[in-house]
Structure 1
């Protein structure tokens, strides 16, 4: 092995972030690198991230995980998107589906033709052109079926809703089987190199010392290494995302689990509902300037579907991002690198993409600063793109029933988001920059769902004769309906996976 090669990696903190990092690094690097994960049972994990986006499938495939086994082991359900209630106005309800709307025609995105037909007065609801939205409302699910050429069944896109603690345990088993060593203990000291300022080792309560070449900080909001030891700064985004508290609580499942997550806007924040096989996850994200902890818990309890199964878990946070997610020989993942509220289920994805970026720019012990700078630039861009998408939900509203919503509808927006909204309002155009996480479908779903109406559509959409336009749109809608009718119910699909385990 090269004398400058990384030989020891120390992961500080367990939970979802720590065990995702340990499992992926051990899978890719094999036993050529020693990996040690330090965690303390006395330090709880946040554990509110129970919903995901479709990209998690790629991570599981990287680890060689059988999807049916994963679903059984994590009490998972399938997720076709997110339903938003009361966001644009009280009484409104819309769906943000995974996948696409309709199909491209004449080289243009489908929604330009839908906008044209809507202006002509003959368009069906936009959701009628999304198999994800249609199937979710019908409580149906199946994996993509590519055997029928041209069928919407081949375009199904899905994610998961699962027990995050079970997922961490599942990944721990795989990581330890690949040679990762777990050490129980609380870190009480961090030793830095007097020359270059790198972390040399951490000391535990029992006085044992754990040295490493590369440290992965998964210590949550504390940022034990990246912040407390190295002093990497934090950029506060709470002026755009003012919610700074959450209370989470599980309740008994009273019906078959829905194949989607629900986010319901409240006067001082919003409430999530995430159906698992074993229970329903619930939480209230709120702004402490406008709601007390006791009031938030009372509001959450009043909205539970079934009897509570856990004590309430209160969390404090601040939206923002580290100035440096990678500083010297420390890479921060998860909450240690930044926080964006879980409105669009991006927390686990941001961990996953950071791990992939680290592997792409994997260092040796010289820790090339150009690689580190590139990593940090791309991390910041990703956070900013997700940030803008989340802000859109708050800004694109006509609600004025509470101080929070009056503030959000009038606050100054990031220039990047202001430009997107202005372009869409004028001509319905949507752009995807740098292969960013959220596609044109996602931006359209939220913008349209919350009442942003373009003045015009792409002029090339007028080249299709009106009669042909109506014919194609009817055909697409009918194909969607017939495809959904062929799908089993979500519960039937889960039952089939359960039978496989027997």
Structure 2
């Protein structure tokens, strides 16, 4: 074995982030001892229930059978997010996974849709999304890449699940691969005098867990990355002022729909996430405009069924650690940064951090160039996701409360302001550095919240009008027929449960 190889890894903190890290590292690495320490007395945030399609890749990497995963986590399928009252009160739009229509003449579909809109006979944009159509009908079917040209080839999906059960599911897999779990609260962190690297964490009963590499999954407090190494935090709350959330499960009252709902209200927004056995609910709000008691009353008034859990109040600040990797400590999950769950990115950011770590996996020399690269790429990803979330707040005409008046007039990050300005002029959308959110995602929110381009790509005018109408009608018919033949979401879940 390489004398410089990492031999021991210590994961500090359990929950979704800790057990995702332990499961992935134990699956990908050989000859490495992995310890995970967590305290049941501290607990975890545990309200993350919705995901985006990239989680399919993570589960496949670990060899997880989808049916087993769904049964073990109480999962439902997710085709996108429905947004209510964001652009203005009374508005409703859908952010689908997958694509709209299909490219024509080498251009994105939306340029042709905007041209047809100006001609006065375009169908609603959602008619060209198999995900939006299926979600509205309560139907689901897995993508079928073997049928070229079929709308099923453009479908994409994610899951809605119980995050606590997912962590336990991953824990079983990780422990089966040799990960050792220690229960206890960390009282001391030992560091090397010369390098400042973390050498060991000491538990309240005196046990010391030493390692070469430490993964900080300790949540908002950032026990290693911040409290020990003082990596620093960049505050983004001037763009994302919501700093509280209250979460509560309620009884399921109808068949679960294959999508998440986010409803904007005066001081923030509410989420509704349907699982197999219950419905997850939460209210994200700004404490400057709403206190905790009023937030809970607002949430309770919107529940579909009887409450099944006590309310869980969370306090947070949007932002990013200035260093997600410092010396021999890598922070994942809430320890690395926080962006509110509006677009269900929390679990993805854990996943991408793990993937980035494996790509730049160190030896005991801890090459600073690798660390700097990791931190640059982490910052880029968080900033791109940040801009997309800010768009939802900024692209509004709501004038009914102080929060929305602030959001509609606040100065934007230059990167977001430029992207909006380009789209307003000619409908062009760019995807930088293979960023998380595609042109489809940006279009869904921009269009859904009332931002329209003055014109479209000049090449979209080269297609004769009759041919444009023929193609658009053909795409819409194909979408309608495909959705009509899809089974219901509940039927799919019942089949999996009986398997």
CA distance in 2, matches of 1:333, 1:133: 32
How far residue 47 of structure 1 moved from its aligned partner, in angstroms, is 1.0
How far residue 153 of structure 1 moved from its aligned partner, in angstroms, is 1.4
How far residue 147 of structure 1 moved from its aligned partner, in angstroms, is 3.9
Q: Deviations over 1:115-138 (max 9, x none)?
A: 000011010000000000000000
Q: Aligned residue for 1:255? A: 254
How far residue 3 of structure 1 moved from its aligned partner, in angstroms, is 1.1
Q: Aligned residue for 1:103? A: 102
Q: Deviations over 1:348-396 (max 9, x none)?
A: 0000000000000000000000000000000000000000000000000
Q: Aligned residue for 1:84? A: 83
Equivalent position SS for 2:246: strand
Alignment of 1:428-443 (within 5 A): 428-443=427-442
1:8 matched to 2:39? The reply is no
Equivalent position SS for 2:94: strand
How far residue 156 of structure 1 moved from its aligned partner, in angstroms, is 1.2
Q: Aligned residue for 1:336? A: 335
Q: Aligned residue for 2:285? A: 286
Q: Aligned residue for 2:149? A: 150
Q: Aligned residue for 2:48? A: 49
How far residue 262 of structure 1 moved from its aligned partner, in angstroms, is 0.1
Q: Aligned residue for 2:127? A: 128
1:61 matched to 2:60? The reply is yes
Q: Aligned residue for 1:396? A: 395
Alignment of 1:218-367 (within 5 A): 218-367=217-366
TM-score by length of 2: 1.00
CA distance in 1, matches of 2:112, 2:270: 35
Q: Aligned residue for 2:22? A: 22
How far residue 146 of structure 1 moved from its aligned partner, in angstroms, is 3.1
CA distance in 1, matches of 2:2, 2:264: 55
How far residue 199 of structure 1 moved from its aligned partner, in angstroms, is 0.3
How far residue 432 of structure 1 moved from its aligned partner, in angstroms, is 0.1
How far residue 244 of structure 1 moved from its aligned partner, in angstroms, is 0.1
CA distance in 2, matches of 1:156, 1:465: 29
CA distance in 2, matches of 1:73, 1:210: 31
1:480 matched to 2:479? The reply is yes
Equivalent position SS for 1:145: coil
Q: Deviations over 1:305-363 (max 9, x none)?
A: 00000000000000000000000000000000000000000000000000000000000
CA distance in 1, matches of 2:146, 2:42: 49
Equivalent position SS for 1:455: coil
CA distance in 2, matches of 1:225, 1:91: 46
Equivalent position SS for 1:285: strand
Equivalent position SS for 1:412: coil
Q: Mind listing any 5+ residue stretches in structure 2 that lack a counterpart? A: none
Equivalent position SS for 1:226: coil
When the two structures are aligned, how many residues end up with a matched partner? 499
CA distance in 1, matches of 2:64, 2:145: 22
CA distance in 2, matches of 1:117, 1:363: 53
Q: Mind listing any 5+ residue stretches in structure 1 that lack a counterpart? A: none
Q: Aligned residue for 2:466? A: 467
CA distance in 1, matches of 2:149, 2:11: 46
Equivalent position SS for 1:47: coil
How far residue 155 of structure 1 moved from its aligned partner, in angstroms, is 1.6
Equivalent position SS for 2:227: helix
How far residue 218 of structure 1 moved from its aligned partner, in angstroms, is 0.1
Equivalent position SS for 1:424: helix
How far residue 44 of structure 1 moved from its aligned partner, in angstroms, is 1.4
Q: Aligned residue for 2:413? A: 414
- The Cα RMSD (Å) is 0.5
CA distance in 2, matches of 1:395, 1:133: 24
Greater mean alpha carbon deviation, residues 40-49 or residues 221-230: 40-49
